[in-house]
């Protein structure tokens, strides 16, 4: 049985090479991309056996996604569906001022029809941590119920629940997100949230330390992590606020940085680290992720430890 | 104004390199693929100015498709839509016994919502030939009406109507196809149909010569072309049947062979060739197409003539 | 009829991948590259229908160039020639201190024989703007006459004439360039010129504002734009000087930045913008261009507007 | 617990693109290649849960191999070693008369040190079938003992033992192979052997039917399969000989054909098929394999059934 | 000092991947291609030290060509020129009926200006064989003189002269070729000529055996080799005619087959083989060449011997 | 005869594209990589004829390495061995904090068995400079003797001996390196050493100027060059210390920077430059190298001179 079970959709990610434009593309790089599987992989890499739970079309495209995730070392426990599409998205990379763009093509997916009763509740209840994100309930009304049911089942089984707020403006409005996600908050032990989402979706104000404290107090979370991109993160736990900076990186791909952070944080917390130490490992994992193409933190525990102990200097060859 | 106007959907075609499996793909080749645009390109290459009419999402993916078609030299006259997906399909190439496989992902497209009133009727009525295929009405009930309306408008404008039966079993059942398409027959002057579709969808029997004759007589077409793959084609016109063999080829890509044949046949007929001569040029164009990667007949008129006059020997360097 | 007609040579551009050396190259990326077609494309992207006029060999290489340009959305109106080569150039990319290198292989081209009488004068006289650059008359003595004739025809037809000085030291000496190009100045309404060319070829002195003013006054241009690379540009019009900075960019390819700037400037001026506003859009278009591989500004009007209104911040995904 | 456990070395396979020569290669395609993992994958694809047992260096190269195998869907149960190399081989593809060439670089590997006590004997004893090949004992004297021990343990646990003779002349002489492998025969239930190996290594004579019968009788195997490349295979069981032809294929890669055959045969036998039926599915799986690039039978059970039921015709799209 | 000295132009060969059309190409594969360097390489591979003599522009493109040839193992002795282009050609591969096409872009090259006095006559006179082809004098009037001078110098130095007729219709008419090349015949010891050139350019009639005999007798060659493509070759020597078949091959690239044949024939003759044996090795080298991408016979002497001794069966792995 | 002879191992270098991880690689770029051949190439590029001496397996892999080096323009004089592997290494590129990683797979190579008597001592004694590095004696005890013998032979022949200390911690401990290499010092005229190696392996202290002086005085070298990465280098000669800064670069590949520096320094010293001038050219060559992918300084003498005379500004196109 895995220590961590995550639940979510992983899409086929199609992207032109380098910074080529979609409208001018002759080929697409094909990868699997999804926040919840990214978190599972990062945790597994830091030594926490992890399983990704999902519903996937029984098709070459569905198998393509699952095959890649298995190759990264996690367990995959999927409901194979004979109805519904495989979600895809198109990614166009660019720097300032163009900016990286994402086009979702994820309507009518198999995953959007996933109901809690299709999954083995024991998987969730025997895990130490259950994790999903705010993307999941944004995908369909069915998934709003499913998310709520699974968080409830986890809580009943004594499994810690962790949740990344992950607001996506291409999926729903801030108002819809707020209404849906705050309803889930009572069932969540550990909340990860970007400072900008706390402000623009939940309407909190103040500096990130204040945001963390207000969120933690108001909703009685066990732990709150407020992420701030290149400025690091804040951890709130037992009413104490801990600050963690971000390491310098030669960034190759930003995508998946937050998921690497979250997966590592969960793994280290479960292995017994206190919050400041877990934040440090999370920041180191995130930094390593940024040097790796693709969305996934293909790191080793030794590398993460080396970054922490060297304070982020380039590891020698 | 173009001499040929074609109407249909052109999809984004995604395919792994060589014979790699979709479930194992790390990259996709990206091309535009659609029967009606293929026919327009083949006709244009043989000297008949051609326009492709369609409805396409106003998105990088939609622009990607239109840009490729323009590059092939035809005119594109598209309604840009702010709703609906860009149709895509996944192509997995393979030989015997695996066989090439196609996965359509073309539900809820912008094109499926195309109505006749969105297009400029003058475009159709000022052309010499209007062409579409049995794929178009298979895509939505809206498109069944649209197809009927456009054929009607063409007829009213004195434009010759040409139609490729093109039955696709992944889109509808033989029964649905038969019911829908035979209703369109009275508005069609030139019918192109594969012998196997005439048998399995329309229930005709007999050898291809008989099929052509029965079809032509029963539905009062002006011209019927029955295609037989590597065995060539039959042309029926004025109650006379003409037989055309297929040229030997070193085949690189079969896809689009039929469209190359049809486009060339139309172009040569309009330029004044009799049916047997037009069939010969059509067969030569189809043969050249098979030596070219992708779906499109990127040939020149000189090459086609050289094949016809050499009887299909390899052109010298 | 197009609002903008540009006239010039577009070469086949061959370049090794990344920063590989030509002498070590195993493959070349193939693109079409030419200042006048780049300007047409940039203008078209900003909403100004544009046509590129040229003379091209009737060969697969000539068709290759025309096909790519059509794919970018502009109209191409070319004289197909049975004599003369397709111009090519080899591009080797490199940073400091090696520097990007260009090897021209553009002698004896079809374009070098282009005479004014081969083109439809109505195309030019019915356009709102006619554009060419200082590269064109540098290519052959025939083209010096042709350039003069076409500028004259444009002026006679009431078409605004725009000209990018574009001195190329691999084509001719500063003295030849000065003598030839200043003779064309009386026929030009809008001059675009790099500050360094104004100094080293035309012998002007002073800061860019002074350069613009001296040029404008001395030759009685309607408008002068002096470009300064990463330091922005100066616009002179009605004896008033306007200064425009350059936006910060994550640069992927510098080539074509000036052409993007010029094309956008022309398009916005024609659409009614005053000089400062047109300069602002031109700078935004140039900034977006630098994030895009290749020579061409594959931007949308919305993107340009977003850069202008955000002041150049990275556009969100 | 898996129904099939296989034991062997899987190498990193490095090959130039297409038919390029090694001495002229600028890039290598990277794949994992090994007979025992190939067999596990083929069996898993036909519905038999399979595990690959091995010893692998704890290095990025070792992880590379394991990651690929996991992605194909089998379980991997490996001893991670801090000593010994990752075996590699270089593959140069070519047709007649050059012929495909293999250069092994597999001395001093981690796998060569694998001892039986390092593996969990329960894994083997709880499986329904244990499988290895004649390559394994050819790799080191340690592995000769290990192979014998594991076959013995399997037998003791009531697990069926299957063995592919797989003589490799680059690893040892026919005399060494004969001496070593015939000693293992008493512990083997199902032997797969190429007709040419039966002749040139074991010195048997006669046609393949006779070879199968002599082998089966002399060594008291439960089942013998004699493979004959493009001429099919012979199955001997209960003193009855069954003949199976090979399907026609458009071959893309021959490598792994035998492993696909063997894996499918084992899976079908265990699922209850009689020998002739299992041979038919084995032949169909082998035929599909030949249409797939790489060494691995990335097939589905449905596809194999379709080939069997259609008699090997190209599956329609 | 090399035993073989060849003299000729080697071009930069640019070709789209696979069978893609030039007009649709996004990238070109870059190789060096020239008959005389191909012959030198084939001879060197069969153990005869060889030097390629040429005149090349001092530019990255010229260095590119020389670097590739050196990498193949021959010596290069080139005059570096500061004037003249690097010859290039575009190659579009295709099967029946399209056929492979070549577009030469080799006017005004550095090589076309090569004069005999620019080369070290000792190089030629100290070699055992001097070789050039009918392409060289076709390139410029200067080269006609140069070819004659070098053949004369070779003869004076006691060096055997070998010559491949190699008629290229894109360079000159049959009449020009006949007039020029027959003038060179008295200075040539060994003539290689395609049967079709002997017929269509020189006007000989009869079967290949007769062609060889008539040519040899009329022009008093020491040896004549008449090549017949896939039907093999005829050797004529001392008034005796020897016939050599062609080996079966899985052909990957036909280009350079004749050069491989000629280079091997020369090398084996010089090493003491009689004509029939040399023809056999030549045919084996040609067969191996056809399994290798590109123009060059990257074979080893062992491989050639293995083909000869096995009679052309696929070499085992 | 070459002016410079270098002796060392050149490995096959296998690296995933861009910053991809080895454990996730689908393809490897293949290059030849070795310090001593790099130095030979850099010297040759600056006008000093150079030969690389080595022992290489007679295999496609060995030929692959030699072929690439010949293509770069140097002479290769290798002992072809029928025993021993071709050394390889895997390179994984990454920026901060991951850092570029190297995995050596160079045990049991052909080169490790190279003895002095296998090489032609005249080659070394007729050269002006003999060069090897501290990597060579680290590879086997045989090579320790061979290195000593060759340095001795060079000294006896009046050939200047140059040596790059090049400590590699993956090959031996600092203690072993110190003991072995300092024994070679009396036979060395010109020592190149990184400041960090002088400190951590040899135990010297002080700033780089002091290191150079102490090393030079203590071991009586003729010349010492202390390299300091991006901070430049120190040259010590005739008891005078010269300081040279590093040029600014847009770095594409750092690997081989030191070798480019050393090769250029040797070439310029031999051509008569004083130490400060040679250091300046060395720094310019190193700067150009960093703009070039791969390990090798594919520069021209003109480019190096242009960098020196421009003080390192980007060379104009």
pLDDT band at C275 (very low <50, low <70, confident <90, very high): very high
The whole-number pLDDT of residue A219 equals 97
Confidence label for E317 from pLDDT (cuts 50, 70 and 90): very low
Q: Say whether F252 and C19 touch across the interface (CB within 8 A).
A: yes
* Positions of B marked active-site: 259
Active site residues per annotation of E: 259
3-state SS assignment for residue A278? helix
Instruction: Give the residue on C whose Cα is nearest the Cα of B64.
Output: C71
Confidence of residue C1 (pLDDT cuts 50, 70, 90): low
CB E289 within 8 A of CB E257: yes
B 251-280 → A contacts, CB under 8 A:
none
Name beta bridge partners: D75.
D51
pLDDT digits (tens, 9 = 90+) for A187-221: 999 999 999 999 999 999 999 999 999 999 999 99
**Cβ-based neighbour number of residue E117 at 10 Å:** 8
Nearest to C293 among A19, A97, A101 (CB): A19
**What whole-number distance in Å separates Cα of residue B317 and Cα of residue E95?**
11
Neighbours of chain E (3+ CB pairs under 8 A): B, C, D, F
Q: Do E314 and D95 touch (CB under 8 A)?
A: yes
> Per the omega criterion (within 30 degrees of 0), is the bond before D97 cis?
yes
Contact criterion met (CB below 8 Å) for C252 and A18: yes
Residues F41 and B80: their CA atoms lie apart, in Å, by: 58
Banded model confidence at residue C93, pLDDT cuts 50, 70, 90: very high
∠ Cα C58 C64 C66 (to 5°): 75
Q: What is the DSSP letter of E53?
A: E
Domain coordinates in residue numbering, chain E: 4-300
What band does C2 get if pLDDT is binned at 50, 70 and 90? Answer: confident
**Average pLDDT of chain A, as a whole number:** 96
Q: What confidence tier does C313 reach under pLDDT thresholds 50, 70, 90? A: low
Pick the catalytic residue: D3, D164, D189, D259? D259
Q: Is the CB of B108 inside 8 Å of chain A's CB atoms?
A: yes
Of B30, B67, B90, the CB nearest to A61: B90
Where do we find the tokens 């207000």? A214
CB contact under 8 A, E252 and D102: no
For the record, the structure tokens of E25 come out as 């190409």
Residue B216 has pLDDT above 50, yes or no: yes
Strands F88-92 and F101-105 turn out to be: antiparallel
What is the overall mean pLDDT for chain E?
96
Q: What is the mean pLDDT of residues B128-145?
A: 98
pLDDT confidence bin for B315, thresholds 50/70/90: low
Longest dimension (CA), chain D: 53
Could you report the per-residue pLDDT of B88-115, keeping only the tens digit for each?
999 999 999 999 999 999 999 999 999 9
- Determine, for residues B100 and D317 on separate chains, whether the beta-carbon distance falls below 8 Å: yes
b (16+ CB within 10 A) / e for C5-43: bbbbbbbbbbbbeebbbbbbbebbbbbbbbbbbbbbbbb
d(CA D94, CA A253): 39
Do the Cβ atoms of B153 and B116 come closer than 8 Å? yes
Record: contact C317-A24, CB cut-off 8 A:
no
Better pLDDT: A2 or D53: D53
Contact B128, B3 (CB under 8 A): yes
* Length, in residues, of chain B: 317
Angle (CA) C189-C190-C193 rounded to 5° is 135
Average per-residue pLDDT for chain F: 96
**Tokens 């998946």 belong to which residue?**
A256
Name the burial class of residue D302, with classes exposed (0-12), middle (13-18) and buried (19+) by CB atoms within 10 angstroms of its CB. exposed
Predicted local distance difference test score (pLDDT) of residue F1: 67
User: What does the alpha-carbon distance between residue C199 and residue C214 come to, in Å, rounded to a whole number?
Assistant: 12
The conformation of residue A169, written as its DSSP 8-state character, comes to T
C312 → chain A, closest CA residue: A97
* Distance from C-alpha of A222 to C-alpha of A244, rounded to nearest angstrom: 18
Structure tokens at A240: 């104490």
B64 pLDDT tier (thresholds 50, 70, 90): very high
User: Which of C28, C63, C84, C87 is the best residue to mutate to test the E interface, defined by the most E CB atoms within 10 Å of its own CB?
Assistant: C28
pLDDT in tens, D146-173: 999 999 999 999 999 999 999 999 999 9
Closest CA to F218 of F234, F196, F203: F203
Distance (Å, whole) CA F37 – CA F264: 13
Closest CA to F242 of F211, F209, F272: F209
Q: Kindly report the pTM of this predicted structure.
A: 0.96
- What pLDDT, on a 0 to 100 scale, did the predictor assign at position D47? 97
Cα–Cα distance between C273 and C279 in angstroms, integer? 9
Tokens of E244: 């050599």
Q: Which of B63, A27, A21, A250 is nearest to C291 (CA)?
A: A21
pLDDT of residue B8: 98
Beta carbons of A67 and D71 less than 8 Å apart = yes
Q: Do B292 and E19 touch (CB under 8 A)?
A: yes
Paired strand residues for A130: A5, A161
- DSSP-derived secondary structure letter, A22: G
Nearest-CA residue of chain B relative to A31?
A: B26
Is D268 or D313 the better-scoring residue by pLDDT?
Answer: D268
pLDDT tens digit string along E174-207? Answer: 999 999 999 999 999 999 999 999 999 999 999 9
Helix orientation angle between D275-290 and D257-270, rounded to the nearest 10 degrees: 150
D103 — contact with chain E (CB < 8 Å)?
no
Residue F196 in contact with partner chain A when CB distance is under 8 A: no
3-class secondary-structure state, position C61: helix
CATH code of the domain occupying E4-300: 3.40.1190.20
> Poorest-confidence range of C268-272, E250-254, E272-276, E310-314?
E310-314
């Amino acid at each position: 049985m895995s220590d961590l079970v995550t639940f979510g959709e992983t899409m086929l990610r199609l992207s032109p090479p380098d910074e080529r434009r979609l409208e001018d593309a002759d080929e697409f790089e094909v990868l699997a991309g999804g926040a919840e599987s990214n978190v599972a992989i990062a945790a597994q890499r830091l030594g926490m056996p992890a399983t990704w739970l999902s519903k996937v079309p029984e098709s070459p495209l569905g198998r393509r996604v699952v095959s890649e995730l298995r190759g990264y070392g996690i367990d995959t426990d999927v409901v194979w569906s004979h109805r519904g599409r495989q979600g895809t998205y198109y990614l166009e990379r660019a720097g300032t001022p163009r900016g990286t763009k994402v086009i979702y093509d994820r309507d009518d997916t198999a995953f959007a029809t996933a109901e809690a009763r299709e999954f083995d509740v024991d998987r969730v209840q025997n895990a130490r941590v259950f994790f999903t994100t705010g993307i999941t309930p944004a995908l369909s009304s069915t998934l709003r119920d499913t998310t709520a049911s699974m968080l409830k089942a986890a809580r009943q089984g004594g499994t810690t629940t962790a949740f990344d707020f992950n607001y996506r403006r291409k999926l729903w409005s801030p108002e819809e997100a707020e209404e849906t996600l705050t309803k889930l908050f009572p069932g969540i032990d550990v909340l990860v949230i970007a400072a900008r989402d706390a402000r623009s979706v939940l309407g909190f104000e103040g500096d990130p330390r204040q945001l963390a404290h207000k969120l933690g107090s108001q909703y009685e979370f066990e732990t709150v992590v407020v992420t701030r991109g290149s400025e690091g993160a804040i951890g709130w736990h037992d009413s104490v606020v801990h600050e963690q900076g971000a390491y310098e990186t030669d960034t190759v791909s930003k995508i998946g940085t937050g998921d690497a952070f979250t997966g590592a944080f969960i793994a280290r917390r479960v292995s017994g680290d206190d919050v400041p130490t877990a934040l440090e490992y999370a920041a180191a994992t995130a930094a390593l992720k940024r040097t790796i193409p693709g969305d996934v933190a293909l790191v080793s525990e030794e590398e993460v430890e080396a970054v922490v102990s060297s304070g982020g200097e380039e590891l020698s060859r």
